[in-house]
Amino acid sequence: MSDKTTGLIHHPYVPPAGFEAPQPGVFKASTVFFPNVAALRSREWKDKTGYTYGLHGTPTSYLLEERLATLEGGAQCLLVPSGLAAIATVALSLLKSGDELLIPDNAYGPNKALALGELKDWGITHQLYDALDPQDLARRISPRTRLVWLEAPGSVTMEFPDLIEQVRICKAAGVTCALDNTWGAGLAFSPFDLAPQDGAGQGVDISIHALTKYPSGGGDVLMGSIITRDPQLHIRLKLTHMRLGLGVGMNDVEAVLRSLPSMALRYREHDRTARALAQWCQGRPEIAQVLHPALPGAPGHAHWQALCGAGEGMAAGLFSVIFDARYSAAQVDAFCDALRLFKLGYSWGGPVSLAMPYALGSMRQPWPAHLARGTLVRFSTGLEAAADLQADLAQALAALG
């Protein structure tokens, strides 16, 4: 080396192979080196036989993709910068002008907003279907329907749909169905094998997951995944993923890899706390309705029971309450402001419990018959002790006036 600067970069030392430790190595790259031109020309970037460019993955992101595909029972996985990016990538990949998509009436709001915004501008129409009535979904499928979104349960009003029947309807009509599986997290049920006991093994075509929630578990990472079992569908999504330039940062991938081993334990704890608090809220005179799919009588409870109810059953740490109509929205705001342990903030799945008031009237029109009238607050239980969270709710209820 004639120059020390070059020597700093082209240094001959190679660490010995054979290092093994609990956490995998973190490989970061935009540029990936090729040993020669022939290797560059022959490298296949659409599968995991090699590396081409950081946007298409490094050993670190390949590993997370494989673990997530295994978790959800799929075969391929794409990582994207957020859960919403996963929703948008599916829509942009599968829909073109003249097509229609169907979205459940209780879907994650930004999914509907995408349909009302860019998709509408591009000549793609949508209809909302009744998440609790599979026949309503069946009636709305037409030759123009190219994508059906499924969500179990709806992320604010928590109705659990008859997912098996919804998937059966989509398959019979030959329409691709994509599930927002953030709530189930690959733990509460298997999206690609919804009815293994029937021998049908029927499952969704695509499962998207906001890794931002339980897989990250820290409230500090944004990421999403798109999981499939069909290699052709995966390649179609991957081409869109490539053309949109959707990369993820390897430090974030590392954070998710580090959190994944504890996810099932955390999920059970979030679940236990949410169920205890939801049951307690049912006994409170200020609250007209508690929405949690594991509570008998909650909308869609029987479908939750059928899919996730084995043993104690599994559910995420989310529930909503509708305050009695005698309380104004301002009084419910005062309740939220009085909370101390529950913080006000979007998202869920992290260590800190969260509360969020929603104006249901602007989200669902007309007001669904199965929901009490009143202001809704959604809670995401963190990892604090349930008794402390219950005391926090009790002291804040006093602020209702």
Ligand X SMILES: Cc1ncc(COP(=O)(O)O)c(C=O)c1O
- Does position 347 interact with ligand X (CB under 6 A)? The reply is yes
Q: Which position among 63, 69, 78, 84 is part of the footprint of ligand X (CB under 6 A)?
A: 84
| 138 backbone dihedrals φ, ψ, rounded to 5° | -60, -45
- Does position 155 interact with ligand X (CB under 6 A)? The reply is yes
Q: Is 347 exposed, middle or buried, given 0-12, 13-18 or 19+ CB atoms closer than 10 A? A: middle
Coil, strand or helix at 150:
strand
- Does position 83 interact with ligand X (CB under 6 A)? The reply is yes
- Does position 381 interact with ligand X (CB under 6 A)? The reply is no
Question: Residue 207 or residue 375: which is nearer to ligand X going by CB?
Answer: 207
Instruction: Report the candidate in 178, 183, 168 with the shortest Cα–Cα distance to residue 208.
Output: 178
Question: Residue 182 or residue 259: which is nearer to ligand X going by CB?
Answer: 182
Q: Which position among 27, 51, 108, 304 is part of the footprint of ligand X (CB under 6 A)?
A: 108
Instruction: Report the candidate in 198, 172, 366, 342 with the shortest Cα–Cα distance to residue 273.
Output: 342
Instruction: Give me the least distance between CB of 78 and ligand X, in Å please.
Output: 14
Instruction: Give me the least distance between CB of 155 and ligand X, in Å please.
Output: 4
| Amino acid at site 93 | S
The residues pairing with 322 across neighbouring beta strands, listed in sequence order, are: 289, 376
| Amino acid at site 169 | I
Q: What's the rounded Cα separation, in Å, for the pair 129 and 138?
A: 9
Q: Is 292 exposed, middle or buried, given 0-12, 13-18 or 19+ CB atoms closer than 10 A? A: buried
Q: Which position among 187, 210, 257, 356 is part of the footprint of ligand X (CB under 6 A)?
A: 210
Q: What's the rounded Cα separation, in Å, for the pair 264 and 32?
A: 35
- H-type helices in 115-221, by residue range? 120-121, 134-140, 163-173
Q: Which position among 72, 99, 180, 252 is part of the footprint of ligand X (CB under 6 A)?
A: 180
Q: What's the rounded Cα separation, in Å, for the pair 141 and 176?
A: 11
Q: Which position among 61, 76, 106, 212 is part of the footprint of ligand X (CB under 6 A)?
A: 212
Q: Which stretch binds ligand X (CB under 6 A): 21-29, 81-89, 166-174, 185-193?
A: 81-89
Question: Residue 212 or residue 289: which is nearer to ligand X going by CB?
Answer: 212
| 206 backbone dihedrals φ, ψ, rounded to 5° | -135, 135
- Does position 82 interact with ligand X (CB under 6 A)? The reply is yes
Question: Residue 27 or residue 160: which is nearer to ligand X going by CB?
Answer: 160
Question: Residue 71 or residue 84: which is nearer to ligand X going by CB?
Answer: 84
Instruction: Give me the least distance between CB of 248 and ligand X, in Å please.
Output: 11
- Does position 331 interact with ligand X (CB under 6 A)? The reply is no
- Does position 320 interact with ligand X (CB under 6 A)? The reply is no
- Does position 224 interact with ligand X (CB under 6 A)? The reply is yes
DSSP annotation string for 248-306: --HHHHHHHHHHGGGHHHHHHHHHHHHHHHHHHHHT-TTEEEEE-TTSTTSTTHHHHHH
Instruction: Give me the least distance between CB of 389 and ligand X, in Å please.
Output: 20
- CA–CA distances in Å: residue 194 to residues 146, 151, 307, 374, 383: 22, 14, 7, 35, 29
- Does position 186 interact with ligand X (CB under 6 A)? The reply is no
- Does position 225 interact with ligand X (CB under 6 A)? The reply is no
Question: Residue 27 or residue 219: which is nearer to ligand X going by CB?
Answer: 219
Size of the site for ligand X (CB under 6 A): 12
Question: Residue 82 or residue 176: which is nearer to ligand X going by CB?
Answer: 82
Instruction: Give me the least distance between CB of 109 and ligand X, in Å please.
Output: 9
Instruction: Give me the least distance between CB of 240 and ligand X, in Å please.
Output: 17
- Does position 259 interact with ligand X (CB under 6 A)? The reply is no
Residues forming the site for ligand X (CB under 6 A) = 82-84, 108, 155, 180, 182, 210, 212, 222, 224, 347
